[in-house]
A and B are shown apart, each in its own frame.
Chain A
Amino acid sequence: MAEDIQAAIKKTIDDNDVVLFMKGTAKFPQCGFSATAAKILEVLGVPFKDVNVLESSALREGIKTFSNWPTIPQLYIKGEFVGGCDIMREMYQAGELHDLVCQKGIPHSHHHG
């Protein structure tokens, strides 16, 4: 079971350019930190796959093991772990998240002048 979850997480990350593991959904976040993380991606105009970890305790614990990261939300871009809410916010404020999205060739609607 634990192996299945790890494989499922890996597949989700491989199949989607941008994945946000969060509490709740992008439309209905159930935690302030997850809401902030989703909002940042929306402001950048980055399409992302939202994975609601509250749907299964195996998934909720599995993603923590997978990333070796104890908290939710968690952002992956092109299979690479980017960070949690605080890191996303700092990167966004410094313009680094936008740069990363550009570097990774993720189509998005937000452009700096």
Chain B
Amino acid sequence: MVAEQRIKEKLWIALEPTRLDVINESEKHAGHRSSPGTGESHFRILIVSPKFAGLSRVARHRMVNEALADELRGGIHALALATYAPGEEVRG
């Protein structure tokens, strides 16, 4: 829960999203050989931000990765990302 809150705060500040879903999926991967078993290792993020408008997928993901650089260096093992600009069709 702590990591989830920190992720949300950092993304709110960096990307000013109009929608932000952060789902902790660590439980689903708990049995993984490489899973650290911290309960805060696997996250799925859906983010809609005006800052993504006109940018490629790679550029959008880089913005998220940069905002979460500390977390990615530390405990986060996997990040599934879906990035949209307002007005783009959101899947899932």
Contact = CB atoms under 8 A, between A and B. Distances in A.
Interface of A: 23, 30-31, 33, 68-71, 81-87, 90-91
B7 interface: no
Given A23-B34, A30-B33, A83-B58, A69 B78 contact: no
A86 B65 contact: no
Contact of A69 (B57, B65, B73): B65
Contacts of A23: 34
Nearest to B65: A70
10 contacts: A30-B33, A69-B65, A71-B65, A71-B79, A83-B61, A85-B80, A86-B61, A87-B58, A90-B57, A91-B57
Chain B's interface size range is 10 to 19
A33 B81 CA distance: 12
Contacts of A85: 80
**Residue from the set A30, A31, A85 with the largest chain B CB neighbour count within 10 Å:** A31
Given A31-B32, A84-B61, 19 more contacts: A33-B78, A69-B65, A70-B69, A70-B72, A70-B79, A71-B72, A71-B79, A82-B58, A83-B57, A83-B58, A83-B61, A85-B80, A86-B81, A86-B82, A87-B57, A87-B58, A87-B61, A90-B82, A91-B57
